[in-house]
Every structure is written in structure tokens, then in C-alpha cells.
Amino acid sequence: MSDRTGAAAGATVPERKAPTMGVFARYLSLWVALCILAGIILGQIAPAAFQTLGRMEIAKVNLPVAVLIWLMIVPMLLKVDFGALHEVARHWRGIGVTLLVNWAIKPFSMALLGWLFIGWLFRPMLPADQIDSYIAGLIILAAAPCTAMVFVWSNLSDGDANFTLSQVALNDLIMVFAFAPIVAFLLGLSAITVPWQTLLLSVGLYIVLPVIVAQLWRSRLLRSGGPGALFVTLRRLDPVSIAALLTTLVLLFGFQGRQILAQPFIILLIAVPILIQVYLNAAIAYLLNRALGVAHAVAGPSALIGASNFFELAVAAAIALFGFQSGAALATVVGVLVEVPVMLSVVWIVTRSRAWYERPQAGTG
């Protein structure tokens, strides 16, 4: 029996407002590329200004970045409905597959790919003093499952909205407790010093507090104006969130400019393990769901959630742990650069393979 669900009564997502890709999100890779260019140019023209911003810290937390990260993350978390957790039991097979990929496979496979490509194959072509930092950034990127954009990917693949909502809510709940231990464990295996105090501060500042603030705000909006008020607020906040992300990238590349100009192929080399990781984990989730007889409307979002990353959180954690000028921060930004085109290609594969997915398998009735 498959996990097939239609538009159930009492669904938590309004049917009339399915998530779509706006202009900013659709061309996110273009905006990121322009920010890379702008950051590099501004960093060369006004290095003193960037150094001043870099020194604005309290307890190793850069204040301008903290404000920008909150402007990025809170609108994303405002979309998460923890009330959807009651749907978990209805989709237990799809949920189980996605949890397996997100928490037991993805961070560890990314660490392995990082060690293989960055630590070995590409080592002669990369700055020796940044190798460990690049690997750390890849690990941080893979340890944070996607929260907001996955609603768009699910809609584009005709996914079950209730499954997507419940899976994202469960992932975010797990992330509060699992992000720091997984990152610390894998960094430790990579012989990278784990700044525990900064890591825990990052989890509190960029996961726990934003989740609390977003859920309190969401509850207030729903009580005062219902789903319509929430939708209007989210639509108004989307440009703010993206503008904060792009501003953060300009700052980051203002610091990274000299290194990139000296070795312009760094971004391409870092992108290789990220690309392999996306397609690998999407394939694992998709094929496992098919083997378990899960409906395509659940398997599609499961594969997409398993492959994508919460890059806003990853960028924030990398900057907090290793700094603006670190290879870790650069590695997480490469994840932002490839996110949209790569995930759209996964959506294309999932939708085009639907007939094959729903074809009866050998040995089944």
C-alpha cells in the first residue's frame, strides 16, 4: 500500500497559494554571480571599509552579519508549521527515507567527498592553508537540510504539500539538537579543531532563537489575520530575505577577492563534490522510496529535501566558526551559487521519470 495522499481535509497549506519561484529566486545564481563580482571589486577599491566591518564583533559574533543572517533565516522559518508534525505517521516510509538520507547519509557522504576531492585529488591546485577549511565548509553545508526553497521544489515536482510541510517541520526540530554534534563529530574526524563554544553559540543564535521568534510571529499572524495575513507577510519579507543574502555575499567576497583572483578555479573545484553530493543523495532517496512502494508525490519531495541544503544557516555557521576570510565560508557560498540550477535539474529528472517510477516492478503484484 503506497503513501498516497490527496488534498486532505484540514490541510495546513492553502491550495490557492502554491509556492512558485519569483524573479529573485529563479535567477538566484545570476544574482550570486553578480555579488561575487561586486564584492571582489569593492574589496579591491575599499579594503579598509571591509576590515572595519569585519572588526565589529562581540563574543566572536560579527554584528553586521548577525543582523543580515536573521533577516535571511527568520522569514524562511516563518514558513514552517510545526503543527504539521501530526502528518508524520501518515507518510512514515517517505519520512523515514528522507531522515535516513538527511541525517545518516548526506553529512557523512559530503565529508567523504570533501576528503577525496579537496583533500586529495584537488589538493595540488588549492591553497595548502585552506584545505581543511574548505572541507569544514562542505561538512557544514551538508549538515543543514533545506527549509524554505524545498516548498518551491516540491510544488514544481507536483509533490504532496502535506508531506513536504511535515518533513520540513521534523527536519527543523531535529536540526536544533543534531546540527552541532554532527558538525563537531565530522570536523573532529577531519582533524579540524572544533570551537565548541562558538559552535553552540551559533546554534543558539542562528537556529534556536530564530525558530522561537518565527513561530511566535507566525502564531500571532494566524491569530490576528489568518492564513491570508501570513501569506502577505511572507510575500513582503521575501525580497528582504534575498537582499540580506546578497549583501552578505558582497561582504564575504570583499574579503575573499584576493584569493579568488589569485586562483580563479577554486570555485569550480569546490563545486565538484557539492554537485556529486546533490545527485547522489537525490538518487538514493528516490530509489529507496520506489523500492518501498511510496507514491511519486511523496518520493519527489523526499528526493529534493534529501539533496538540498539550508545554505543561509550554513553561511552563517561557517562565518561564525571560521571567519569571513575562511575557506569554509567560501565553500558554503559555492553551495548557494549552484543551488538553483542544480535543484531545477533534479526537479526535471523527478518529473520526467514519473512514468518509470510508477511502472510496476518485477516481482510485485
Question: What does the block give as the cell for 302?
Answer: 523526499
Section 329-356 average pLDDT: 89
Q: Is 142 a residue whose pLDDT tops 90?
A: yes
The string of pLDDT tens digits covering residues 52-84 is 887 887 766 778 878 888 888 888 788 888 887
Q: What local confidence, expressed as pLDDT, does residue 194 receive? A: 66
Q: Decide: helix, strand or coil at residue 207.
A: helix
Annotate 286-316 with b (16+ C-beta within 10 A) or e (fewer). Answer: bebbbeeebbbbbbbbbbbbbbbbbbbbbbb
Confidence of residue 24 (pLDDT cuts 50, 70, 90): low
Write phi, then psi, for 125 (nearest 5 degrees): -100, 0
Cell of 255: 574579503
Between CA 245 and CA 239 the distance in angstroms is 10
Asked if pLDDT for residue 88 goes beyond 60, the answer is yes
At 277 the pLDDT is: 94
pLDDT tens digits along 151-208: 778 888 888 888 988 888 898 889 989 999 999 999 887 767 767 777 787 788 888 8
pTM here is 0.79
Handedness of CA 135, 313, 351, 89 (dihedral sign): positive
* Domains and their CATH numbers in the chain: 71-353 (1.20.1530.20)
Question: Residue 6 above 50 pLDDT?
Answer: no
Q: In whole angstroms, give the CA distance from residue 295 to residue 3.
A: 5
CB atoms under 10 Å from CB of 193, counted, come to 10
Element spanning 62, H or E: strand 61-62
Q: Could you tell me where the DSSP H helices lie in 101-203? A: 106-113, 131-142, 149-156, 161-189, 196-203
pLDDT band, residue 9 (cuts 50/70/90): very low
What does the alpha-carbon distance between residue 230 and residue 292 come to, in Å, rounded to a whole number?
36
Q: How far apart are CA 98 and CA 167, in angstroms?
A: 8
User: What digits encode the pLDDT tens for the residues 95-121?
Assistant: 999 999 999 999 999 999 999 999 999
Burial 38-60 (b: 16+ CB within 10 A, else e): ebbebbeeeeeebeebbeeeeee
Q: Tell me how far CA of residue 4 lies from CA of 94, 235, 316, 340, in angstroms.
A: 10, 30, 37, 28
Find all residues with CB under 8 Å of 40, minimum gap 6, and list them: 253, 254, 256, 257, 260, 261
| Tens-digit pLDDT profile for residues 282-310 | 999 999 999 999 999 999 999 999 888 88
pLDDT digits 0-9 by tens, 305-324: 988 888 778 888 888 888 87
